[in-house]
Structure 1
């Protein structure tokens, strides 16, 4: 009978500090795993397994929704759909990138940081995609054709570059200044989120004042904001594992819940955008400039290239200082403990 030896697992004191997570005591993979070991570990229960699958499976859901839209919309020639095209590409990209980052992050300390550099870059591009669609479909009537509307995507490109730069830099502070690193990384993603949602916040404010317009999508927008708040809270608080270290190592820790809330929130956001896009189509085409290729797909390509350049700069800086284990990302040699092994 074929026997497959699954990768070894370790406790928190058996792995270098750079791999440790607050409140997670056991279930760590070998800190110098091979690529094959990383892939095999996604099929055994480790403290990363649910993180991997909670973003890998939703990738296929969003791809399915994208394919369904491709069968009903003309993304190639109908410029009104181009903002949605950008958005759908990015909501497929960010969970897939995150899943890959969690899968291969234990190949080495350097690989861990580079994996998450790409994860942060994908998330910042997702924020850019939100800005492209919000600027095209969600902008309040009274803001259409204003200075903010005309420069919304340009500012969002700058925000995405700032987001990637700050979040990547935060990893260099992680060992010496963990709280400062966490604040910097959280702020890096909260700032573009707040900017992207300014048009939506204003529409909700109008509703509170009793002067709603185009309100069919607002309930889905509200659900998205609720899950976005939960996502931020779970990311920053490390609850519930902080209250009971070791009890949520494999199932139920904050990063898993954070992934789930992020995906559910994206689902509601997608539904809200589709509703706004359909219900406001005639009014927007009559009163606003048609989305341009440069302002949609062009913005995505520019943002992608610039963010890739930032990731390259931080990766080169990381690899050029391989012995910076105390003040920057750790590259210390892994411990050689007696491992827990599992075989099937």
Structure 2
């Protein structure tokens, strides 16, 4: 049976949550108050995470398919699981295209995007075919590297001379309206995306520490996302951050300390690549598990192989360009929030069912007592 430790879970969640946030200036529609948007969205994220972990608390040894069958019955569970699988596939395709495009514009500008995507997916197929434990161990190994790169970036930016705290002022200079406008997007991405871990909770060996580990990981990742956002805005300003293609890369490229510490784009690309790989892999594996459970396949390896080989073709067909991909992502926002909110209904159903079971037992006991009389 697949088992992952709390440290591996912590690493997976941290990398997943930071993931593709390094590609964007989250909540930048609120200008210099973008970091406040992330902070407020994180509270809603914790609210959602409580429901996600509550499902694991009620059914620690059952996978998500079995939980849906228990709560809704097979007739409703199967189509809902299928829709969740499509949702995870959609998210994976967004992540996949973003990071393929990143590699193309930063490292391999003359290489066709389809070739880059196939190199990317072959790596993912290899790791995922070895099992979820291998993906978790890989995250555990790469997480310190990922963290060191991030913290090093913050330190260099802070002492580069380009960090201007005035770019973050005035706080609430545009009032609350812009903050509230941006809030739903940041709730859905990245905090609501934690819904994919419903597919993986049953792999955790120590279920008692699952909620604490998940909350700690999301809390620390929120702090790092806010630091990244503050660094970007303080260096290049909110207007450029809103209009540049990859704000973090633009920020790091602007650093030049004594003509010695410069051209640090490699660090930015590595941060974004590690985050993107795990973000895409976890969403893709969520889709694979949903499909495997629906097909009642004993081993997901064949599903991983065939789905993986077709995935780059699907992504190229779906996104003809990055601008279209961003527009498509905005359109998908409502659907994302729906799927991220469904676990709230599932928890309500769980409590209703739990109340009904004791009451039915009490009725049976009363009938037996009456018959005995």
Report if TM-score (shorter chain) is over 0.5.
Answer: no
Structure richer in helix, relative to its length: 2
Greater relative CO, 1 or 2 (CA 8 Å, sep 6+): 2
Larger Rg: 2
With normalisation by structure 1, the TM-score equals 0.32
